[in-house]
Amino acid sequence: MGIGVKEKKDIIVMKFGGTSISDTDKIKKAAGKAIKAKLSGCKVVIVVSAMGDATDNLINIASSINKNPSHREMDMLMSTGEQVSMALLSMAIQEKGYDCISLTGKQAGLLTDDIYSNAKILSVDKERLLKELGSNKIIVVAGFQGATPAGEITTLGRGGSDTTAVALASALGAKYCEIYTDVDGVFTADPRIESNSSKIEMLSYDEMLELASSGAKVLHLRAVEFAKRHNVVLHVRSSFNDIGGTWIMDVEDSDKKMEKPLISGVTHDTNQVKISIFGLYDKPGIAAKLLGGMAGKNINVDLIVQNVSENNLATISFTIKNEDLNSARKVLENIKDKLGIERIEVDTEVAKVSIIGEGMQTHPGIAAKMFDLLGQQDINIEMISTSTIRISCVIRKEKIRKAVRVLHKGFILDK
């Protein structure tokens, strides 16, 4: 298949997140893991995030200079965080006597579209990667970045190093992609807020997609989408021990299908804003115009509820991510008069709690049980949305921990 690499299955992609390489000791530990993989006979490609809070720090520096920096310059800036880690990790590996080379996203052949700060991967040109692997080097690639066909540097959206790793694993036909992070795997709830949560051994792509999209930030949603589409097996595990983590793969590939619990996990998302639009004309096409305007600005609308009052005016409420609020306000300002909007209310004190599980497809009554558990704790449900394997409720933000607690216990997930 290319220059010097005969067996696809020999290649392993290992991704280290920011907290896993936040200081020099941790970088040396990550180097040790890479060398161990190399010594087991694999060709090793590592993907790194920026060290610790480096990306946040870069964003803060930028905003102290320019409150509204251009997207291009932001990507030029943010892409440097991963470049620091790639060089340091490569040096740590070289220091232990192994041949290693670091590559930026562009050097690694990651071609993207030109949507700065949220670029999508168009293709991976493997030539350079295969050349370096062929000469027996360990490769460290800067995650979260690529370049447009015109050579402009782009980034893939916050948390995007996971997506780099999966894209490289897919392009190289790696046997699986290991995501090393600061927890032992994917848990039944965020282990930082639910101390009774436990590690899940195995998940289907669909379950992981729902977990990631409803708040389990342990994996970048687009990484899971990519993995599902290209059938890349993921192993999410700890950087700090050798315990096996969570495997994410096609359920058909797993022999544990029969052991699946009813509910696999509870997620929460506090990064939500609810926008309510009052006094809309109740006629065909209004919702499309309203939500189409949001989509046109790349704003992802999550839960949506519409009510029609006696005077035939409609109220539409929907949730978006916090960071999209300013763009959403601009869109609404532009279409306000055209749609007859009377009043707009913005509520930042909301959060979303969700339960996810393939078991709910065949077991009726799961939604009723969820609502009952929340009701017993005096938690009011403001909005609801469902998929075949997820139920989400928007509630007051201040009640989110209580909600996760009661659902985790109520659906027998406590360890």
Smallest separation (angstroms) from Mg ion to the CB of 308:
42
Extended beta strands in 271-398, E state:
272-281, 304-308, 313-321, 343-347, 350-356, 383-387, 390-396
Smallest separation (angstroms) from ligand ADP to the CB of 78:
15
Q: Which of 120, 131, 217, 336 binds ligand ADP (CB under 6 A)?
A: 217
Which DSSP category does 377 fall into? Answer: T
In the region spanning residues 6 to 65, those forming contacts with Mg ion, defined by CB under 5 A, are 17
Tokens at 276, concatenated: 């309510």
Q: Pick what 158 binds: ligand ASP, Mg ion, ligand ADP, none; C-beta below 5 to 8 Å, kind-dependent.
A: ligand ASP
Asked if 65 and 77 touch (Cβ cutoff 8 Å), the reply is no
Smallest separation (angstroms) from ligand ADP to the CB of 304:
25
# residues contacting Mg ion (CB under 5 A): 2
Measured CA to CA in angstroms, residue 49 lies from 3, 19, 162, 242, 296 at distances of: 28, 9, 9, 20, 30
Q: Which of 18, 191, 245, 293 binds ligand ASP (CB under 6 A)?
A: 18
Type and span of the H or E element at 56:
helix 54-65
Measured CA to CA in angstroms, residue 189 lies from 32, 92, 208 at distances of: 30, 35, 12
State yes or no: residue 105 binds ligand ADP (CB under 6 A).
no
Smallest separation (angstroms) from Mg ion to the CB of 164:
11
State yes or no: residue 218 binds ligand ADP (CB under 6 A).
yes
Q: Which residues contact 66 (CB under 8 A, 6 or more apart)?
A: none
* Of 49, 42, 59, 45, residue with least CA distance to 27: 49
d(C-alpha 223, C-alpha 165), whole Å: 8
Q: Which of 79, 112, 161, 214 binds ligand ASP (CB under 6 A)?
A: 161
Smallest separation (angstroms) from ligand ADP to the CB of 183:
5
Q: Which stretch binds ligand ASP (CB under 6 A): 49-57, 209-217, 226-234, 379-387?
A: 49-57
Number of neighbouring beta carbons within 10 Å of residue 125? 12
Q: Which stretch binds ligand ADP (CB under 6 A): 211-219, 225-233, 309-317, 340-348?
A: 211-219
In the region spanning residues 148 to 167, those forming contacts with ligand ADP, defined by CB under 6 A, are 159
Residues that bind ligand ADP (CB under 6 A): 17-20, 49, 159, 181-183, 186-187, 189-192, 216-218, 265
